[in-house]
Amino acid sequence: MIMQDTKSNPNLIAVAFSGTHPFDAEQWRTYIDISWYELPDVGKIHGGFMKALGLQRSRGWPKEIDESGPHHYAYYTIRDELSRVFRENQDAKFILTGHSLGGALAILFVVMLILHEEEWLLDKFEGVYTFGQPRVGDKKFGEFMVEKMKKYDVKHMRYVYSNDLVPRIPYDDKSLFFKHFSPCLYFNSLYQGQILEEEPNKNYFSLFWVIPKILNAVWEVIRGFLLPFVVGREYKQNWFMTIFRLVGLIIPGIPAHIPNDYVNSTRLGSLNEHLEIQRPQHSKDD
């Protein structure tokens, strides 16, 4: 979805990538496809996410393709539409955002702009803000992205809420080697935010975290009834979310991935304090 606020800020374009639909088998197949797609001198990237963005089986990632036929690819379609908008409005800038699978596609869209050397688009790029984003590549890929994002002054803010399962997959271990390449803006169940190099319990499954996660899931059920009396309408929770939190008593981290708590984190959390960070993707040594 490409959006423009024509009244208050007509020069800002927002590109939002959709998250995973719970009953879309094709999207879940994208998650399950953890095959590597390797780019020389760049690193290894999640094959399923790359295919969802526009990777073509026989041609890879050509800089230009013919989209006059029946098949359209997300990366090329969005890039061409942004080019059209900027030809009409030279002062416009854009941001990228997405939740879950959408967060992965948002950051990989940046990758392809960099690889295709779309410098005039990168010059108009303000930053990428992802919510509940899964890991998308290996350590070498992460190092490549940190270097390039510093070069083009690209901000990357990766929001993680509490025990959300998805930012903790695919695994960062000796068998899969997936790595996040930027610190996270982590919000706990009270929506208290802090900047961390990695979210707590980075691979989700841990015997040490079983009891804390279950206790937190119980608290989230109770909290849903208490916070409306404390903060009023600022706290967002519908009846579906109230019921779905009961699932968290069995599988903690599943309800935490639903966008509600990310909405509440940005509305009720210490957001302004985090937005003062200009380059959160940089390492401690920068």
By C-alpha distance, which of 193, 192, 189 is closest to 252?
189
Which of 46, 99, 180, 257 is flagged as catalytic?
257
Q: Is 253 left (phi over 0), alpha (psi -120 to 50) or beta?
A: left
**CA separation for the pair 113, 107 (Å, rounded):** 10
Catalytic residue among 46, 99, 100, 156: 100
Cβ-Cβ contacts under 8 Å for 106 (sequence gap 6 or more): 15, 17, 96, 97, 98, 128, 129, 130, 133
Catalytic residue check, 83: no
Give the position of tokens 């999640």.
46
Answer yes or no: 8 catalytic: no
- Which one from 138, 164, 182, 261 is the annotated catalytic residue? 164
Which is nearest to 164 in space by CA: 268, 19, 18, 45? 19
Amino acid present at 22:
P
Residue 99 annotated among the catalytic residues of the structure = no
Catalytic residue positions?
Answer: 100, 164, 257
